[in-house]
Structure 1
Amino acid sequence: MAIAFFVPIPSIVFHLTSLHCHSLSTDPPHPWKWLAQHPIFLANILFFINVDLIFWLIGLLQANTWLIDLYWTVIPVLLVHYYKTHPNGEYALWRSRAVVFLTWVWSIRLTHNYFRRERWEWGKREDWRYNDLRKKFPRSWWWLQLFAVYVSQHAFLIGICLPMYAVHTSKKPWNGWDSVATIICMSGIIVAYFADTQLYNFVQKNNLLKDLSMPGIPNLDKGLWRYSRHPNYFGELLWWWGLVVFAWNVGHGWTFIGSLLNTFCLAYVTVLVEQRMVSQEYRAKAFREYKATTSVWIPWFKCTPTRAKDKNT
């Protein structure tokens, strides 16, 4: 717990010190003067030192990469406040407030889901995908994880948070597109919350059945999961693309690149998750039938399996 609280302090202290130095002088000393003009570059430096390197070293000492999972929910909050308080920041007050508020709501939801899933324990386990990589590359994992776990997520997090930077570079007044972006973001948060809650309840019920030595339910196909195989991913994508609408509205449509990269990543994760599902014998058949009738991400009505159609013709 102590580690989780103390690890972001170097970045926070550096940023607050930089703001203090900037406020004391109308002509800030070099190199802060240059860094003040390049907030994204500075964010990358702080991320590389504080997350890529320090988290990696802590992970080596603990033989566990749990910190990055926890801080995936925290870093966007730190970044949105960093961009808002940066000396070069300029923004429309209500757009900034909306994005900051939405980011906090998103973070609280995801953090709650993380602790609920982990039974309110810190660093109880690491992501199963990293565990699989650790087993696959036992000798080289000590250095490979720097790139596979930290540097890769460095690119994802800085990239998907680019709209937060864009929002704090323009004083364009609030308009209808900001309202649309707000609705998209809130819809994504709500969809992800209910999808994760339904998944959590499903897992808990199966754990109870296991404790009673009863067969588990092979597949979740109720609630949102009846209309989408991955409604939690769909909700997450809605959230990030909603932020892109905010950025596009202030003339920074180029920031879509982060959400596009995240979409490709979730597509790959979707493949991994579904491969894992069919590799488990007790649920393979049920999942294949579910997959044949249910949309991947976007919630939609059930379709008729191709084989069933062929039999009826």
Structure 2
Amino acid sequence: MRNSVAFVISLLVTLLALGLAVLLDDGAQHLAGLPLLAALALFAFAVQWLVFIPSFLRQTEHYYDLAGSLTYASVILLAAGLGAPDARGGVIAALVLMWCGRLGSFLFRRVKRSGKDGRFDDIKPHWGRFFMAWTFQGLWVFMTLLAALIAVTSPAASNWDVWATLGLAVWVAGFAIEAIADRQKSAFRAEPANRGHFIRHGLWAWSRHPNYFGEILLWTGIAIMATPAMAGWQWLGWASPLFVFWLLNKVSGIPMLEKRADKSWGGDPEYEAYKASTPVLFPRPPRH
């Protein structure tokens, strides 16, 4: 893809996100002359673009995941500071901070240990394609946070109720699954005897990508918690977990990892048996 085409795609993605933010904003608050949701979306993109500049100049992706996590934290804190959230919105903001703190530090340590992130090998030398990757991270932050931002900034949010309790339970389950799966895989990779092998125990015996299942589940929990705060077009806040599912299942998550795994172990009888008996995403008890 040419740099100019990638840059145009980046601009279109940004305008699409800003248009959605304006559509969903309740008009009660503004920031820098913009509807609050639009200002928060623009802030998410601006942070990515600022970090892109030194990253491209130094040809490094080491700060990509860290920048994403810090943007999550910054956006939700800014929204909470301006929106004066109720108990529901305050808990949602705290959950987002817990998630991005754990995942961001985990991903940053992982890329520092490995020395590089293979996703960026082909695009780093091309400024337009690398810029597009950072722009899409801004879209990822805003779209994933959409339901949370509606709840945190909406004056129509109700007090704590069954939706909040149910959503919190779903979030806790998803957070635990993601954290346990990440820890199991890190421990597996830390053993020299496992070098060149694939993990297939623990949660990884139930799903080939249990961490991604946990990720989708926890954002579904946030959307459930935020449901009473939604009205009119704001029901599109449910696009948040749907976007996470689409992104991980069709774009940058599972397809890339499955392709990489097939390249490493394709044809290995044990790996082929593991693939045949273990679901890609949604867990089920292992078959023996």
Is TM (by shorter chain) over 0.5?
yes
Task: Please say if residues 51 and 67 of structure 2, whose CA atoms lie closer than 8 Å, have aligned partners that are also in contact.
Answer: no
Number of the residue aligned with 2:69: 73
Q: What letter is aligned with 1:275?
A: K
Secondary structure at the counterpart of residue 66 of structure 1: coil
Query: CA RMSD of the aligned region, Å?
Result: 2.4
Shift of residue 256 of structure 1? 1.7
Are residues 145 and 112 of structure 1, via their aligned partners in 2, closer, same or farther at CA, if it must alter by over 3 Å?
A: closer
> What does 1:161-176 correspond to in 2, within 5 Å?
161-168=145-152, 169=154, 170-176=156-162
Number of the residue aligned with 1:91: 85
Match of 1:114 among 90, 107, 112: 107
Task: Please say if residues 196 and 232 of structure 1, whose CA atoms lie closer than 8 Å, have aligned partners that are also in contact.
Answer: yes
Number of the residue aligned with 2:42: 45
TM-score, with structure 2 as normaliser? 0.79
Number of the residue aligned with 2:273: 289
| Higher RCO (CA 8 Å, separation ≥ 6 residues) | 2
Number of the residue aligned with 2:26: none
> C-alpha distance in 1, partners of 2:31/2:208?
50
Are residues 163 and 126 of structure 1, via their aligned partners in 2, closer, same or farther at CA, if it must alter by over 3 Å?
A: farther
> C-alpha distance in 1, partners of 2:211/2:227?
25
Shift of residue 196 of structure 1? 0.4
2:123 matches 1:144: no
Are residues 125 and 40 of structure 1, via their aligned partners in 2, closer, same or farther at CA, if it must alter by over 3 Å?
A: farther
Q: How many aligned positions are there?
A: 253
Number of the residue aligned with 1:280: 264
TM-score, with structure 1 as normaliser? 0.74
> C-alpha distance in 2, partners of 1:202/1:285?
20
Number of the residue aligned with 1:264: 246
Number of the residue aligned with 1:302: 286
Shift of residue 90 of structure 1? 4.8
Task: Please say if residues 295 and 302 of structure 1, whose CA atoms lie closer than 8 Å, have aligned partners that are also in contact.
Answer: no
> C-alpha distance in 2, partners of 1:50/1:104?
17
Number of the residue aligned with 1:20: none
2:179 matches 1:183: no
Shift of residue 246 of structure 1? 1.8
Q: What letter is aligned with 1:127?
A: D
> C-alpha distance in 2, partners of 1:71/1:50?
8
Number of the residue aligned with 2:178: 192
Task: Please say if residues 102 and 186 of structure 1, whose CA atoms lie closer than 8 Å, have aligned partners that are also in contact.
Answer: no
Shift of residue 283 of structure 1? 7.7
> C-alpha distance in 2, partners of 1:98/1:48?
25
Gaps (5+ residues) in structure 2? 1-28
Match of 1:240 among 196, 219, 222: 219
Shift of residue 111 of structure 1? 2.9
Gaps (5+ residues) in structure 1? 1-27, 210-214, 305-313
Task: Please say if residues 159 and 257 of structure 1, whose CA atoms lie closer than 8 Å, have aligned partners that are also in contact.
Answer: yes
Secondary structure at the counterpart of residue 106 of structure 1: helix
